[in-house]
Structure 1
């Protein structure tokens, strides 16, 4: 028995099927630009870097027994100092409140002007701008850098590259060094670091942050914004048609032509756009985006393309803002011949403002009413109660008193809630307990009653501490357990 085998039909393979799934990374050489948005970015860069590098050295008087650093995260004392505010571990809700407030502000910024955070305030943007400024200072602008990278390695090229990377490493090193200064007294830690007497964790932290800053701001740059950062994906779901975004007004810019050809077409009363296809908007973009292709994930809305385009429009004597902060609703209104649409105040932005005011108001109210003493009670678990020889029932507790003032205080301790209850502080005479400045103290207390208790009783009990000097009180609730 023979079997006939047929040949498979030939299949044509499109050349595009062999194309890679991901675009190979291309080196981006952002060109320097001058204009309003570039000046804003320089101002933001200088202010934010000054705050980051200098804030650890700002002093704030808190008394002789407290740190004098204005902003300090003191892990050893389990405190977070922020100017007049001192946050204890049990008050971490203040930090949570600040994070919620920051998120709402970020949402509001997105609703008003898209990724304005990414373009001006994001640390990745700020440090990348700084690194780019160093690169331009040493290697020249876009054309000089491209020419040098395409050419052979010469002594001048090696010198420029070495100097650039050395300065980058110095900036990255000081960035890591400034970070660790927030966790210890800054002047003291600087001396310890210089004399090699600082803790090992300080050197390790500086090394890690030096490496990450150097790599992210010096080498990865736009890759962080395009691939690593989750915010571009999130903000796209939070925006709407009224949000201002950097937009190429193609209703005015198209069809593109050279300047001479556009002039000829206008004289012939034929359509001619203002865009002369000079590609300056692409050359200045730090992420290499062509904004004329519409909104894109990599666009950080920095506005540099606006400055570049306005410079060109001035030279060819055409109206400015061919590229501008604009909204989809405004574009639609222009194409339909309707008046411009500017809805900054709308339901979304009003809601965010209200939420910000509510969250901020709650935090300010909480800070204003913040207690400078705290009391916690913990019942002994084993045994839950003890029957004495005379028939009395005794429960044992641990009281933790927190004194948040920067002075020693004496508290009077009392108990209520159980009939005939007597309170005894182990190791102390009387009902008074002294607590040092900005410290906590644990007390072992015994509560005894000879009054008859119901079978299986679990009665609510309240402990109270009262400042002997001011009369301010704090309470803690627990239960008195019987047989």
Structure 2
């Protein structure tokens, strides 16, 4: 029995390290540009200043958890306006669907944080340990002083990048210069240190060691992308009808254009062979296109053996037809629907930001009791008022009541003899207000009557209205 179990092959396969080779080309240049832009945005954004007045934070982008607000340059999002954030998340999802339906996993290949930081870590690795062949030799070599020196230098550089990454993230949640000073003087809150430590560890491990395993095993998008793609989606592929049979032969022989140089495999950060067809691991970074085009130039063959193509083009290209232009793949009903939804949601968010009032009011009738009969026969209703001012300086607000018979109502504010209230900058004021109907008024002797309570800025256009009710004596 023991001998039979020993004959069963193991289903576990140890990870084979991947050592991508350096390559140059148009897609590699595009990846360099996107990596530089995205890293600059991530590291620099918390340090951009934005003057909002003496009582407000002057950081352009800030997630102010203490005051439950989000600042983005001139935009200020309050907790009750989370629908703006939800709208942006929906737009991000639709944008991902749009680009995936058009160009496959182009997000994964160029702008995904895992891809960007892994690319940065591999660049550092290449600077210190050398290109592909040198790194393979170092990996296979026994431990020595030279190997320990190179590995130590590489890991130290990775750690510095990881610390900078974790540190930059916490700056988005508090004033960056203040936190930086507290970190240097060791006076920062323990939560800041813990967050930096966790993000440093995850960046160091994910970007330096896990790399493609995060994309293959941890990320759900490779398994979702199939639902977003169709036969007209442009993605990186191998034109086997042109490349096969492979072999190192002159162009005049019966061999295909593929010389089996393995250049496309050696540059792949996922370690796959694009000639095997579409694979879950492929992130559509297109580095294999640069590598193959370089070899085609060297051997005098036309470019495009590995390139962007759609399944719907295969039959025509096999017959010798030219590839369809990019616009014919992009301008199709599915893409137009995605783009229309994306644009529509964006337009609604912009309209919401433009049209929203600088003051919000919430009015809740007091239910115990619903009304009070005064000594003169009048009827008074009480309401709980919450007035939120989004102005960056103290503002004075006055109230008005409208509705059928509402002109007879008298409005008073508890603690405010003048009837007006002053709300501090960017704060919420809570007060109790009273509406009193005189004896003989229709609202006093009626049942439940709809009314509208309006608040207006005395020195500006800000105003807000809330519909509520007034309860009379004949309430059933």
TM-score between the two structures when normalised by the length of structure 2: 0.92
Deviation (angstroms), 1:407 = 1.9
In structure 2, the CA distance between the partners of 1:455 and 1:332, relative to structure 1 (3 Å rule), is farther
Deviation (angstroms), 1:455 = 9.5
Is residue 59 of structure 1 aligned with residue 45 of structure 2?
A: no
Is residue 203 of structure 1 aligned with residue 193 of structure 2?
A: yes
Match of 1:365 in 2: 351
| Matches for 1:16-415 after TM superposition, within 5 Å | 18-21=8-11, 23-259=13-249, 262=250, 266-267=252-253, 271-342=254-325, 343=328, 344-415=330-401
CA contact (8 A) 2:138 2:147 kept: yes
Is residue 435 of structure 1 aligned with residue 442 of structure 2?
A: no
In 2, the alpha carbon distance for the partners of 1:422 and 1:250 equals 85
CA contact (8 A) 1:111 1:243 kept: yes
CA deviations on 1:189-209 (whole Å, 9 max, x unpaired) are 111111111122111111111
Match of 1:3 in 2: none
Deviation (angstroms), 1:14 = 13
CA contact (8 A) 1:402 1:440 kept: yes
Deviation (angstroms), 1:127 = 0.1
Deviation (angstroms), 1:287 = 0.7
In 1, the alpha carbon distance for the partners of 2:334 and 2:159 equals 43
CA contact (8 A) 1:247 1:295 kept: yes
Deviation (angstroms), 1:396 = 1.9
CA contact (8 A) 2:34 2:111 kept: yes
Q: CA RMSD in A?
A: 2.2
CA contact (8 A) 2:449 2:470 kept: yes
Match of 1:447 in 2: 435
In 1, the alpha carbon distance for the partners of 2:258 and 2:116 equals 30
CA contact (8 A) 2:357 2:463 kept: no
2:397 alignment partner, SS class: strand
More deviation, 329-338/69-78: 329-338
Match of 2:410 in 1: 422
CA contact (8 A) 1:127 1:217 kept: yes
CA deviations on 1:111-152 (whole Å, 9 max, x unpaired) are 221111100000000000000011111111111121112111
CA contact (8 A) 1:414 1:431 kept: no
CA deviations on 1:7-33 (whole Å, 9 max, x unpaired) are xxxxxx999x94444543221111111
Deviation (angstroms), 1:340 = 2.8
CA deviations on 1:43-97 (whole Å, 9 max, x unpaired) are 1111110110011111122222221111111112222111111111111111111
In 2, the alpha carbon distance for the partners of 1:86 and 1:454 equals 42
In 1, the alpha carbon distance for the partners of 2:310 and 2:225 equals 15
How many residue pairs match? The answer is 463
Gaps of 5+ in 1: 1-12
In 1, the alpha carbon distance for the partners of 2:102 and 2:57 equals 41
In structure 2, the CA distance between the partners of 1:436 and 1:133, relative to structure 1 (3 Å rule), is same
TM-score between the two structures when normalised by the length of structure 1: 0.91
In 1, the alpha carbon distance for the partners of 2:470 and 2:262 equals 79
CA contact (8 A) 2:379 2:444 kept: no
Gaps of 5+ in 2: none
CA deviations on 1:415-446 (whole Å, 9 max, x unpaired) are 33465432221111121111112222111112
Deviation (angstroms), 1:332 = 1.9
Match of 1:457 in 2: 447
In structure 2, the CA distance between the partners of 1:19 and 1:479, relative to structure 1 (3 Å rule), is farther
In 2, the alpha carbon distance for the partners of 1:455 and 1:28 equals 84
Deviation (angstroms), 1:337 = 4.0
